[in-house]
Structure 1
Amino acid sequence: MAMAQSLAPSSSSAARAARPKARRAVPSRVVAGTAAATGESARRLVAAFDPAIPLASAVTPPSGWYTDPEFLQLELDRVFLRGWQAVGHVGQVKNPNDFFTGRLGNVEFVICRDANGELHAFHNVCRHHASLLACGSGQKTCFQCPYHGWTYGLDGILLKATRISGIKNFNKNDFGLIPIKVATWGPFVLARFDDSSQNTVNDVVGDEWLGSASDLLSRSGIDTTSLPHICRREYIIECNWKVFCDNYLDGGYHVPYAHGALASGLQLQSYETSTYERVSIQRCESAPPEQEDIDRLGTKATYAFVYPNFMINRYGPWMDTNLAVPLDATRCKVVFDYFLDESLLDDQNFVDRSLKDSEQVQMEDIALCEGVQRGLESAAYSVGRYAPSVEMAMHHFHCLLHDNLSG
């Protein structure tokens, strides 16, 4: 239960100020896929769920929400490419010249920090003939296209266009990289693909991204930047991205049946769920440790879901995050990032044991999610029901999706 997408970490002031400012031709909004128009089948699937029905009487969204490629196309356009999205953590762009890359739907992007320490994000596409510029993560002083050598500064400006003698009506200041709005909140890097303006105040971003849950998450230690990043693990799961989110949002319903070892460390009767504008928070007290040893779970675990696909888990000395990234209608990639209190970095036995315990939970969840996906694709299932006492966060998630998809 618990970030995750494969992204890579990405210069004197006087020289930078002297450069001409690129006049970038920026699309008003990035549209995923080949057509902005929504198909009739996707519209029917959206309409098949009624968020106005009270939880105790409501039925779940139809199975087509989890199997229809056209429905995923609608989600990419109206959910993932609108508003702030978590794309990585600040450790990936900690130093000048760090960069990392990622993909969301058909959008290829690169996040980088220039030599002056300023954070940038761009579409990772050369303006010449559309080659991807960078891959993975690391450090670069510039981005040079591997295809024809066009070169861009980490501020997006086109520095060199090769072999263009004789070209007419060309102004290189019009061919800088297409910018993406980028910001940070606590240890997280956020991008906004529907807004290319570059003036961002991080405090405002927190309010836009988290709403009224922002202060609560700060008090829970989730906005801290003092926890070193330990490792990243990625999983390709044979299920729709929402199946993974639903599993996270069932209020601990599945824990005693699927996670025996984890359940023994939690007081499941203390489980509580709160919902906010775009966030739901689940909390559970831990069982007293049986021995005088460092307790991985601490006294209380906090599981925060940030719509649409980002999960933050704070427990004991650990914080881990999950990012569920759709690959196609029936597959997703989930990226887990682990952060640990600095005082325990040298306790390798504790680190290894904790990561092993976490891995066991993830393997159990993957088996569950892939089994659910196969059931959703069968002819025997259409809609289900909610358990009103525990699955309120899941219903909240589905209502938010309906609102975006029908708007």
Structure 2
Amino acid sequence: MSVYKKAATPRSKPIFTYQVLKDLLSIPHITTFTTNLSDIYTTQNKMNKIKLHIESDNFTETSHRTPVRALPSTWYTSPEMFELEKRAVFSKKWLLITHQNRLAKAGDWLKFNVTGYEFVVSRDRKGNLNAFHNVCRHRAFPVVQGGTQGNSSIFACKYHGWSYGLSGNLAKAPNYDQLEGFDKSQNGLFKIHLKVDAYGFVWVNLDSSENPEPWTRYFDGIDQQERLKNVNFEDYTLDNEYSMEGAYNWKILADNFNECYHCPTTHPDLPTLADLGKTKCDTDKGWIKHSSVQTEEQKKDGLGLASTYFYPNNSVVVLPHFMMIQRFVPMSANHSSMHYQIFRNKNSSDKDFHLIADMYRRVVSEDKDLCIGAQRNLEAGIFVSGELHPRLEHGPLSFQEGHREAIRDHVQLEKELGRQIWPARQRLPPTAVENKEDEELCSSLACGSLQEVLAW
């Protein structure tokens, strides 16, 4: 929810770092180089993937004079695009879901849902965190029933009585010990890749392959931010959590969160946190970092705008008295659920905590109204695409470019294989020959009804 810092003194020739030179010269079809930033942006379509790491005090109002077209409205309204996003993004990207502080004791578990994929994260008796799909290996009934959190010694399916340990291993399958060839070790709950970063945030990747894309590919260094070097994340404990639902596509909210161009118009509280004219947006790989300049009084009160957006659909706000994890959960092409985990610093007073927590609750409610209104008009069929400000809306443009790349890469893979690719789907063992033939038959039916973008 922020923008680049506005320079005090305009300069026509910003200073480029050595890395920028390398980035520019490595781009295909770019054979010449200029230090005139306005010239560079006349080739905007070729430059979308460039990370222009320009020092903020060299960024000027004379830069970025060419508007950039946003993604078309069909990407926000199409059911087919939503299904493609489930395959191309939410089945294979790393997703930040919570903080390990919420799973302090053996047996603690949390349940989550992402685009219909329901899964559980638990802490076992050895102190390890485990993630697995909430799907019994026998007949697919949900193993963990009721509520979104709890503490259990075992997970028991109430359909046929299969039970599983805290690490997801199969503990008991009634009457299956009488069958030859049944291997309990191969019938635990479907494992999900899990990582805890240096700050203690918990990430999952639903890709069922042994080797999903490396977390470091998009998030290397994100847990080593200079601005958070003095933060002790162990001081933050969950105070409350709440959810909202809205009739809009999840990307509407992602676009909204990643710019503060709308803030002076919509959020009267935000000037209390920081100077909206001195905010900054930095992008790199899979994350968008927002920061601000505070007055001495704001610093003393623990106020500011300090958030990081993690592609595709999560963000974290960290302030001295308050931390918030936001998850934008797609439910359908035009419906989303927003989940907010609110943490409080154990050393903060009620006044300091609620000043910020209550303010953010008002802000997210205001954003919800904006998103609903925008989605309604997208679906009316008039609006196709708008022109975004390359500086003030740099965050949404970065998000959209990364999303466009993820979608196109996956579509290319599906075209090459001639079928849909669902990375999170169970991988059958070599012995399941007949089952594979049945699956291939059904897949061939699906291919026959694909839209033009996936017409193989």
Q: Secondary structure at the match of 2:357?
A: helix
Match of 1:43 in 2: none
2:307 maps to 303
User: Hey, what does 1:331 align to over in structure 2?
Assistant: 335
Q: 2:154 aligns with which of 109, 122, 142?
A: 142
- Return the match for 1:398 from 394, 397, 400: 400
State which of 217, 223, 238 in structure 1 corresponds to 2:247.
238
Letter of the structure 2 residue corresponding to residue 88 of structure 1: T
Q: Report the equivalent of 2:324.
A: 320
2:288 alignment counterpart: 280
* Cα offset, 1:114, TM superposition: 0.9
User: Which residue of structure 2 lines up, in the alignment, with residue 362 of structure 1?
Assistant: 364
SS of the residue corresponding to residue 176 of structure 1 reads: coil
1:53-68, aligned counterparts within 5 Å? 56-68=66-78
Residue of structure 1 equivalent to 2:204: 191
Q: Among 139, 142, 145, which residue is 1:129 paired with?
A: 139
Change (3 A) 1:171 1:273: closer
Alpha-carbon distance change, 165 to 181 in structure 1, aligned in 2, over 3 angstroms: closer
Using the TM superposition, give the Cα deviation of residue 167 of structure 1 relative to its aligned residue in structure 2, in angstroms.
4.3
Return the match for 1:228 from 227, 231, 237. 237
State the 1:336 CA deviation: 1.2
The superposition leaves residues 234-278 of structure 1 with CA deviations (integer Å, 9 ceiling, x where unpaired) of: 11122111111100112x111110011223442111111111111
Question: Does 2:176 align with 1:176?
Answer: no
**1:296 offset after TM fit, Å?**
5.0
Q: CA RMSD in A?
A: 2.7
**Distance change >3 Å, CA 242–CA 393, structure 1 → 2:** same
Q: For residues 3-40 of structure 1, give each alpha carbon's deviation from its aligned partner in whole angstroms, at most 9, with x where no partner exists.
A: xxxxxxxxxxxxxxxxxxxxxxxxxxxxxxxxxxxxxx
In the aligned structure 2, how far is the partner of 1:254 from the partner of 1:119? Answer: 40
Q: Do the aligned partners of residues 334 and 69 (structure 1) sit closer, same or farther apart at CA in structure 2, a change above 3 Å counting?
A: same
* SS class of match (1:366): helix
Q: 1:230: Cα distance to partner?
A: 1.7
**Structure whose alpha-carbon radius of gyration is higher:** 2
Letter of the 2:46 partner, please give it.
Answer: A
| Structure 1 portions without partners, runs of 5+ | 3-49
User: Is the 1:187–1:223 contact (alpha carbons within 8 Å) kept by the matching residues of 2?
Assistant: no
* CA deviation string 1:275-299 (max 9, x = no partner): 1111111212235659xx97251xx
Q: CA deviation at 1:315?
A: 2.9
Letter in 1 for 2:361: E
| Alpha carbons 1:217, 1:223 under 8 Å: kept | no
Change over 3 Å in CA distance of 1:89–1:214 after alignment to 2: closer
Give the counterpart of 1:260 among 262, 268, 288.
268
Question: What's the secondary structure of 2:374's corresponding residue?
Answer: helix
Pick aligned residue for 1:341 from 338, 342, 345: 345
Distance 1:51 1:294 in 2: 44
> Which residue matches 1:52?
46
**Alignment: residue pair count:** 349
Write the distance in 2 (CA, Å) between the matches of 1:324 and 1:223: 26
Question: In the superposition, relative to structure 1, how do residues 325 and 126 fare at CA in structure 2: closer, same or farther (>3 Å)?
Answer: same
Deviates more, 1:54-63 or 1:119-128: 54-63
SS in 2 for 1:260: coil
- TM-score, normalised relative to structure 2: 0.70
C-alpha contact 1:181 1:196 (8 A) present in aligned 2: no
Deviates more, 1:214-223 or 1:347-356: 214-223
- Specify the SS of the correspondent of 1:245: helix
SS at match of 1:313: strand
| Overall identity of the aligned pairs, in % | 26
Output the amino acid matched with 1:339: F
Query: Is the CA contact (8 Å cut-off) linking 2:68 and 2:389 kept in structure 1?
Result: no
Equivalent residue of 1:108, what SS? strand
**Which runs of 5 or more residues in structure 2 are unaligned?**
3-43, 49-63, 410-456
Structure 1 residues 93-132: aligned runs within 5 Å: 93-132=103-142
When normalised by structure 1's length, the TM-score is: 0.78
Structure 1 residue 198 displacement after superposition:
9.5
Distance in 1, matches of 2:401 and 2:244, equals: 27
Partner deviation per Cα, 1:17-68 (whole Å, 9 max, x = no partner): xxxxxxxxxxxxxxxxxxxxxxxxxxxxxxxxx9536672421110011111
| CA-to-aligned-CA distance 1:348-403 (integer Å, 9 cap, x gap) | 34434433222211211111111111111112200001112211111111110111
Following superposition, the deviation at residue 75 of structure 1 comes to: 1.0
Kept after mapping to 2: 8 A contact 1:99/1:110: yes
Equivalent in the alignment of 1:12 = none
Asked if the contact 2:324/2:341 (under 8 Å) is kept, the reply is yes
Question: Structure 1 pair 382/198, CA: closer, same or farther in 2 (3 Å)?
Answer: closer
CA separation of 1:327/1:195 partners in 2, compared to 1, >3 Å: closer, same or farther?
Answer: same
Query: In the alignment, what sits opposite 1:92?
Result: 102
Alpha-carbon distance, 1:218 to partner: 6.7
**Aligned residue in 2 for 1:215:** 224
Distance 1:302 1:114, change over 3 A: same
Tell me how far apart the structure 1 counterparts of residues 223 and 238 of structure 2 sit (CA, whole Å).
22
Distance change (3 Å), C-alpha of 1:160 and 1:51: farther
Note the C-alpha offset of 1:150.
0.6
Q: Which whole-Å CA distance do the structure 1 matches of 2:73 and 2:231 have between them?
A: 34
Do the aligned partners of residues 258 and 244 (structure 1) sit closer, same or farther apart at CA in structure 2, a change above 3 Å counting? same
Contact 1:51/1:399 (8 A) holds in 2: no
* TM-superposed deviation, 1:110: 1.2
